[in-house]
Amino acid sequence: MVDSPWRVRVATPDDAKGLLALYAPFVAETTVTFETEVPTVDEFRSRIERTLARYPYLVAEREDGRLVGYSYAGTFKGRAGYDHTVECTVYTAPEARGAGVAHALYDALDAYLERMGVYNVEACITHPNPASEKFHAKRGFVPVAHFHRCGYKLGEWLDMVWMEKELGERPAHPAPLIPFPDLVAAEGKRR
């Protein structure tokens, strides 16, 4: 097995500037995200902090420290009954596409989510976006919803699809979701 030139690790708020540099072109130049204004570094830092308070936020980092991708999970719906379902996101730098970075990020994300007690992972994708839809299908996601012309960006009305993946069998009475910081702390004590 060949070592990859990057590693996956948990993000920190200090990654905000590097991650924003990776994300900004998606906002400014594409319809991959429906966000229309590039956030500030401080806003991006706050997003990382808010996510990490409950869910995993992961980065792929090259040996030289450059960030080449990120992935995170977040609240699907704000009601307690949805605690075992999350929405996920992944972005990679242009030079990292096709190199397995997104798969490695999702592998690590899925592993954390399973240990936290998550059973459903949802992905919201601008349609058409054949590359993302194909990638998610390879990851075990299936289409579950298609919304027509529900977003407007860069002068066009855009569709949105939701794809879903199940992480495991659901118990009749699931244990409460383990927040990511609690999981990391508990696993760190066992080492």
CA-nearest of 135, 136, 137, 129 to 160 is 129
Return the pLDDT at 107. 97
How far is the C-alpha of 181 from the C-alpha of 191, rounded, in Å? 16
Instruction: Summarize the confidence of residues 147-169 as an average pLDDT.
Output: 96
How far is the C-alpha of 121 from the C-alpha of 166, rounded, in Å? 6
Return the pLDDT at 3. 59
Return the pLDDT at 188. 84
Phi and psi at residue 88, in whole multiples of 5°? -120, 160
Return the pLDDT at 5. 84
45 pLDDT above the threshold of 80: yes
For 76-122, write each residue's pLDDT tens digit.
999 999 999 999 999 999 999 989 999 999 999 999 999 999 999 99
2 pLDDT above the threshold of 60: no
- Determine how many CB atoms are found less than 10 A away from the CB of residue 140: 14
Instruction: Summarize the confidence of residues 36-57 as an average pLDDT.
Output: 98
Mean pLDDT of the chain: 95
Return the pLDDT at 190. 66
48 pLDDT above the threshold of 60: yes
146 pLDDT above the threshold of 80: yes
Phi and psi at residue 132, in whole multiples of 5°? -70, -40
